[in-house]
């Protein structure tokens, strides 16, 4: 039997999650300039949180790099791809110049944030509402099912030194949830069982993004990337799985010709 403390943060998590779902779905539905701006702002805040963790004393630098990230994403998405990519990478190199420590961590995570944000914009612009909702659904279901299954079932820890609360039961349950999402979307898209395997792989990539962010926080000795979202920590805590999944889809999609239109 699980103790009440296991669910102590559930109310705050659910309320915050509901607010994020409303804002996120509305932004995805509207698409275009609204979605571009929303993604750019989220990515800018994530880089601000990242710098604040890596160099807590460098508050001005965190604001500068967060703002530069948002501006670079907005500029890149409205430029031809060949011209936009150098602009997209500027925030990562700017951080190398402005930060005296933890440059490798900064560049690795900032590049992931930039690519993920750019990839989300491209998926919405080129493939439409439905396929982006599939991507979001896989990541959200992986996280939610993993959270409840891990706390209800418990069992062996996935990687206790990095993420003490994550269990193998929750990890595997996330894969099952993603497979169900893939099955449901395969019925509506005509993609067949192929979509189930891609969804599970996407789920694994989202979990890798989560673990990577947990490892970085452990190294820096912080619990959350910030306290912006009650029950969830910061935007980087909430969107770490989306970063892993988006980058995975951006890289693998064109190689396998999936989803339709991405290549």
Sign for the CA dihedral angle at 169, 25, 248, 87 comes to negative
Higher per-residue confidence, 231 vs 234: 234
pLDDT at 2: 46
pLDDT at 100: 81
Query: What's the rounded Cα separation, in Å, for the pair 241 and 239?
Result: 5
Which residues have C-beta within 8 Å of that of residue 203, sequence separation ≥ 6?
A: 138, 139, 142, 174, 175, 177, 178, 245
Q: What is the pLDDT of residues 111-146, one digit of tens each?
A: 999 999 999 998 899 888 999 999 999 999 999 898
pLDDT at 15: 77
pLDDT at 193: 83
The pTM for the full model equals 0.87
Q: Is residue 78 very low, low, confident or very high in pLDDT (cuts 50, 70, 90)?
A: very high
pLDDT at 262: 39
Query: What's the rounded Cα separation, in Å, for the pair 17 and 230?
Result: 9
Encoded tokens for 205 = 């990539």
Answer whether residue 263 shows pLDDT above 70. Answer: no
Beta bridge partners of 157: 167
């Amino acid at each position: 039997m699980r103790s009440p403390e296991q669910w102590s943060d559930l109310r705050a998590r659910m309320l915050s999650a509901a607010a994020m779902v409303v804002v996120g779905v509305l932004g995805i539905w509207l698409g275009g300039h609204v979605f571009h701006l929303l993604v750019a702002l989220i990515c800018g805040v994530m880089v601000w949180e990242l710098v604040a963790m890596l160099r807590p004393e460098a508050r001005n630098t965190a604001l500068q790099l967060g703002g530069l990230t948002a501006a670079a994403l907005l500029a890149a998405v409205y430029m031809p791809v060949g011209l936009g990519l150098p602009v997209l990478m500027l925030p990562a190199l700017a951080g190398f110049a402005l930060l005296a420590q933890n440059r490798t961590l900064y560049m690795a995570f900032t590049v992931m944030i930039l690519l993920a944000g750019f990839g989300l914009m491209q998926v919405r612009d080129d493939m439409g509402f439905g396929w982006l909702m599939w991507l979001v659904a896989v990541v959200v279901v992986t996280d939610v099912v993993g959270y409840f299954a891990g706390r209800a079932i418990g069992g062996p820890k996935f990687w206790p030194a990095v993420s003490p609360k994550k269990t193998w039961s929750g990890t595997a349950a996330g894969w099952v949830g993603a497979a169900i999402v893939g099955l449901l979307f395969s019925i509506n898209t005509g993609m067949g069982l192929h979509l189930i395997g891609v969804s599970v792989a996407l789920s694994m990539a989202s979990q890798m993004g989560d673990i990577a962010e947990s490892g970085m926080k452990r190294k820096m000795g912080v619990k959350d990337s910030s306290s912006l979202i009650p029950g969830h920590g910061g935007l980087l805590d909430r969107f770490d799985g989306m970063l892993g999944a988006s980058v995975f889809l951006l890289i693998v999609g064109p190689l396998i010709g999936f989803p339709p239109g991405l290549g």
